[in-house]
């Protein structure tokens, strides 16, 4: 079964510091991987996606993620945190073929300290 593990349910960074949110997936076949952001009382917004093209994926709001097959990881980074980045972030996986079930991680809440 497909799954993703997000390390750290809460991450705090200072404004201007590096953001690193960790995600590992379980897979025997190449997956599609996603990062979503959720602001309080809102739905999910796609930040970026990996679909077997370039391993370094750039998304919106300055975020990027690198697909590392050897480590089965897809960590999300941003060089300099902004106050507006405070939100909950979900890593998700989907496999090609069949229906489009997306499996989400448990989420990481990012706090940005001024």
Partner 1 sequence: ETGVTQSPTHLIKTRGQQVTLRCSSQSGHNTVSWYQQALGQGPQFIFQYYREEENGRGNFPPRFSGLQFPNYSSELNVNALELDDSALYLCASSLIGGREGPAYNEQFFGPGTRLTVL
Contact residues toward partner 1 (CB under 8 A) are 32, 36, 41-46, 49, 51-52, 90, 92, 96-107
Give the nearest distance from C-beta 37 to partner 1 in angstroms: 11
Give the nearest distance from C-beta 33 to partner 1 in angstroms: 11
Residues 20/12, Cβ–Cβ less than 8 Å: no
Per the structure block, which two tokens stand in for 107?
A: 């989420």
Residue 69 backbone phi and psi in degrees, to 5: -65, -40
Question: Which residue lies nearer to partner 1 by CB, 86 or 102?
Answer: 102
Residues 5/93, Cβ–Cβ less than 8 Å: no
Question: Which residue lies nearer to partner 1 by CB, 2 or 17?
Answer: 2
């Amino acid at each position: 079964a497909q799954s993703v593990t997000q390390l750290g349910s809460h991450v705090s960074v200072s404004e201007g510091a590096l953001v690193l949110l960790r995600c590992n997936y379980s897979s025997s076949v190449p997956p599609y991987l996603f990062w979503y952001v959720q602001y309080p009382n809102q739905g999910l917004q796609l930040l970026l996606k990996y679909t077997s093209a370039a391993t370094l994926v750039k998304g919106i709001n300055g975020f990027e993620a690198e697909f590392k097959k050897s480590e089965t990881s897809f960590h999300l980074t941003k060089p300099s945190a902004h106050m507006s980045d405070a939100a909950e972030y979900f890593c998700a996986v989907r496999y090609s073929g069949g229906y489009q079930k997306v499996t989400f991680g448990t989420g990481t809440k990012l706090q940005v300290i001024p």
